Every structure is written in structure tokens, then in C-alpha cells.
Chain A
């Protein structure tokens, strides 16, 4: 059982370049999330998708776009990368229910923008 899989694991971009971070889960979860983690800032929510076909902004959405391709996949796109977007990006998923199950995280993508 793979859980939450993120690709790539590492990436170096030049300022102004674009790229897409991929995330896929195989747990039949309906909610998916993108977070960024920076030293001293904790994890901050970029975008989330409560269910297939819906996306909403989180705390720090500027400079990012997302696509909920299907129930399994949720991608994060940087259209024009900036050094301020150097961070570790985590994808997460959970099954929304009245019992409120756990959130599961991928291993992260370490992005450096130079």
C-alpha cells in the first residue's frame, strides 16, 4: 500500500521557470491538500480539495495553481518560480467523514529556486 506518493523528491529551478508537483493517493480519500514547510514557520496550507471537482485557497495561495485531476491525483503548479518559493512541499490526503479519520502525508518535494 503506497499511501501518498509525491514526485519529484528534489528539484532545482531557475527564477521564472515553471513546474508541476505531482501527488497521488491510493487510499480512496476524497480530501487532498498541499502544504509548504519553512524553517520557523511550520506547515502552511497552500490549497486544498475537499472532494473531486472542488479546490479552495489556503493560507498562502499566491504564486500557485492546483488541479484535482481525479479522485487520486492533486497537482500543484508554479507558473513562474521565485526564490521565495524555495521550500519543502507536502501533499496530504484524508477521508472526510463524521468520524474524522487521520490525515496521511507524502515524503515531500524539496524545491530550490535560484
Chain B
């Protein structure tokens, strides 16, 4: 069974800091890994998708890396802003399955 863990569960940083969110998964047979953002009381917004053949993806201040062999992904946020405050979720799509398996998320607070 695929299990996905996100550490830390919560993170509080001052504005301007660079930060790293971690995601680990137990089964390396994955199609892809997707990072989402969720604002309080809202749905999930897709940030980045990394296919299994890729090592990283970048979008603006966000950079996500994938190391399948170690079962790890990181989301790097550069020059954090208060508007980045949200819960960040990672999800993996297992090879041969249609199901996305989610981690429990990291709740990020960026203070002005």
C-alpha cells in the first residue's frame, strides 16, 4: 500500500525566507507526483506536476524535485510572501493505478 508523508505538519516563517517542504512515499513505482495548494475553506489548486522520468519542475518562485529511488520530493519556495500562506499537499499516482494518494499536508504561515 502506498503511503505518503509530509514533514513538517506546520511551518511558520518570516516574509522573505526561502523554505523547503518535504514529501516522502513508500512505493517508488509511480507515474507522477503532484503538488497542490489549498487555502482555508477552498479547493485544491495544482502547483506543479513532475512525471516519473523528470527530476524537477519549476514555476515562478516554486521548484519541485523528485527522487524516485529514495521516495522523496521537495517543494522549494523562494522569497516567501504572506500570500504563500496555505496548506501544501503532495499526491502520487501509482504505476498501473488511476488513484492519487495524498499526504496530510504542510500548513505554512508566512508573517509580514
Contacts and interface: CB of A to CB of B under 8 A. Distances in A.
Partners in one complex: yes
Interface of A: 31, 33, 35, 40-45, 48, 50, 56, 58, 90, 92, 96, 99-108
A107 B42 contact: yes
Nearest to A58: B99
Interface of B: 31-32, 34, 36, 42-46, 49, 51, 89, 91, 93, 98-105
B103 A42 contact: yes
A101 B49 contact: yes
4 closest cross-chain pairs (CB), A and B: A42-B104, A105-B44, A107-B43, A43-B102
Chain B at the A interface: SS class = strand
A100 B53 CA distance: 11
A62 B89 CA distance: 25
A62 B4 CA distance: 23
B105 A42 contact: yes
